[in-house]
Chains A and B, each alone.
Chain A
Amino acid sequence: MDLSVRIGSLTLKNPLLAASGCFGYGVEYADVVDLSSLGGVVSKGLFLAEREGHPAPRIVETPAGMLNAIGLQGIGVRRFVDEKLPELRARKATVVVNVCGTTLDEYVEVSRILSDADGVDAIELNISCPNIKEGGIQFGCSLAGTFDVVSAVRNVTRLPVIPKLTPNVTDVASFARAAEDGGADAVSLVNTFLAMVIDVETRRPKISNIVGGLSGPAIRPIAVRMVYECRQTVKIPIIGMGGIADARDALEFMIAGATAVQVGTANFVDPFIWSKLLAGMREYMERHNIARIADLVGTIDTGHTVAERSGV
Chain B
Amino acid sequence: MPIDVAADVIANQPLSADYNVLALAAPAIAAASAPGQFVMIKANAPALNDPLLRRPFSVFEILRGADGTRTGISILSKRIGVSTQLLYDARPGQRMACLGPLGRPFTIVEPPTEAWIVAGGVGLAPFATLAEHLRARGVHSTLFYGARRAADLFYLDFFRALDVELVLTTEDGSAGERGRVVAPLDRRLSSRSPTAPVMIYACGPERMLAATAQTAMKYGRPCQVSVERIMGCGLGGCYSCVVPMRGDDGGAHHVRSCLAGPVLAGDQILWD
Asked whether any CB of chain B lies closer than 8 Å to the CB of A113, the reply is: no
Contact call B52/A65, Cβ cutoff below 8 A? yes
Whether A29 contacts B239 in the complex (CB less than 8 A), given A269-B46, A269-B52, A271-B4, comes out as no
- Closest beta carbon of chain B to A61's beta carbon, Å: 6
- Closest beta carbon of chain A to B235's beta carbon, Å: 6
Q: How far is the CA of A88 from the CA of B240 in the complex (A)?
A: 23
- B233-249 at interface with A (beta carbon < 8 Å): 233, 235-244
Question: Count the B residues whose beta carbon is within 8 Å of the partner chain — how many?
Answer: 32
- Neighbouring B residues of A216 by C-beta, 8 Å: 49, 52
**B-side binding surface: helix, strand, loop or mixed?**
loop
Whether A28 contacts B241 in the complex (CB less than 8 A), given A53-B254, A61-B53, A64-B49, comes out as no
Contact call B239/A21, Cβ cutoff below 8 A? yes
Minimum CB distance partner of B99 in chain A:
A271
Whether A61 contacts B254 in the complex (CB less than 8 A), given A21-B238, A44-B239, comes out as no
- Neighbouring A residues of B51 by C-beta, 8 Å: 61
Minimum CB distance partner of B254 in chain A:
A52
Contact call B232/A31, Cβ cutoff below 8 A? no
Asked whether any CB of chain A lies closer than 8 Å to the CB of B54, the reply is: yes
Contact call A32/B241, Cβ cutoff below 8 A? no
Asked whether any CB of chain A lies closer than 8 Å to the CB of B50, the reply is: yes
**A-side binding surface: helix, strand, loop or mixed?**
loop
Contact call B230/A217, Cβ cutoff below 8 A? no
- Neighbouring B residues of A61 by C-beta, 8 Å: 51-53
Interface size grouping (class) on chain A: 35 or more
- Neighbouring B residues of A52 by C-beta, 8 Å: 252-254
Asked whether any CB of chain B lies closer than 8 Å to the CB of A3, the reply is: no
1/0 per residue A135-147: CB within 8 Å of B? 0000000000000
- Neighbouring A residues of B49 by C-beta, 8 Å: 63-65, 216-218, 245
Asked whether any CB of chain B lies closer than 8 Å to the CB of A107, the reply is: no
Contact call A56/B240, Cβ cutoff below 8 A? yes
Asked whether any CB of chain B lies closer than 8 Å to the CB of A24, the reply is: yes
Q: Which one of A66-74, A167-175, A234-242, A254-262 is at the B interface?
A: A66-74
Asked whether any CB of chain A lies closer than 8 Å to the CB of B31, the reply is: no
Asked whether any CB of chain A lies closer than 8 Å to the CB of B27, the reply is: no
Whether A32 contacts B254 in the complex (CB less than 8 A), given A61-B51, A68-B240, A70-B240, comes out as no
Q: How far is the CA of A32 from the CA of B102 in the complex (A)?
A: 12
Asked whether any CB of chain A lies closer than 8 Å to the CB of B176, the reply is: no
Contact call B233/A31, Cβ cutoff below 8 A? no
Minimum CB distance partner of B4 in chain A:
A272
Q: Which one of A245, A246, A271 contacts B233 once the chains associate, using CB atoms below 8 Å?
A: A271
Contact call B242/A58, Cβ cutoff below 8 A? yes
- Neighbouring A residues of B50 by C-beta, 8 Å: 63-64
Asked whether any CB of chain A lies closer than 8 Å to the CB of B78, the reply is: no
**10 further interface pairs, Cβ-Cβ under 8 Å (given A64-B49, A245-B49, A271-B99):** A22-B237, A24-B237, A32-B235, A56-B243, A58-B240, A63-B49, A64-B52, A246-B47, A267-B233, A269-B52
Whether A270 contacts B97 in the complex (CB less than 8 A), given A56-B229, A57-B230, comes out as yes
